[in-house]
Amino acid sequence: MTQFLTAAFYKFVELPDYAALKEPLLAVCQQQGVKGMILLATEGINSTLAGPAEGVHAVLAYLRQDPRLADLQHKEAWSDKPPFYRMKVRLKREIVTLGVPEANPAKLAGTYVKPTDWNQLISDPDVVLVDTRNHYEVDIGSFTGALNPHIDSFAQLPQWVAQTPALNPATGKKPKVAMFCTGGIRCEKSTALLRAQGFDEVYHLEGGILKYLETVPPEQSLWQGACFVFDERVSVGHGLEVGDYGLCRACRMPISEADKLSPLFEDGVSCARCHAITSEAQKSGARERKRQWKLAKARGLDWVGASK
């Protein structure tokens, strides 16, 4: 059985020539049969790639030839199915959008905490634990006792930080804060946001939830549920084993086996979350895409829809 290697990585580093990096990097990925997404901005690089192991490692070696990326670290996982169907390299204003220029992780990021030391930190009653991810990610799993900002996008986090009483106590004394996210990039920027606002003791989980699930044995874990990932695996658990969640192709939200029992669920078309907010025309289009996919599969062809 073919095995696909997934590599996730990011680095906050000044890349003033980021636009010039796009085409050569895309060419290398295509030559190596690697697919996924790479985001480039003046503040750095953010990516998840998948493909044959030798191809993924070749792309990583190419990136590390740049002295600015020589110490680029990545996380690996394996799957039996291809996690991505296209290769894209996109130019962005930020590699993770927060919209707060002064939140510069290269200068203000909080203190890294190793996964093996994380339990001790978050068990401290004086620590405010914050999950920096979107609500649908938090819904399927999080650390015990973590605050859920209930945000739809990362760019909404600054407003939540400004309003939540736990981070703005009546005493005026800023608390000790621990923050986490999937792979480390959002919490790294989140800690920079807090430090820019005068928080002195700010910590974040090095390598994110994924590194914790890979490192900490289940019997010692304070993690509850599954961890949502932005690829065809949908979710992972301890040991980075692929979870049981599927993906609604209409709204891209995770769906459980119980969710599929809803009368509003139609595979590839809608789920209970999005059925009321998608038009009949959109549902008809989704049904046609599903029909085309089935035809291509029956003929032994790859079909991933129109490129964007």
Identified catalytic residue from 181, 187, 248, 274: 181
Catalytic, 181? Answer yes
Strands of the chain (E only): list them: 4-12, 35-41, 44-51, 74-79, 87-91, 111-113, 127-131, 141-143, 176-180, 202-205, 223-225, 227-228, 235-236, 246-247, 254-255
Within the chain, where are the H helices?
18-31, 53-64, 105-108, 115-122, 135-138, 157-163, 185-196, 208-215, 280-298
Q: Which two tokens stand for residue 120?
A: 């001790």
Give the Cα separation of 55 and 30 in Å (integer). Answer: 9
Q: Tokens 């996210």 belong to which residue?
A: 181
- Give me the active site residues, please: 181
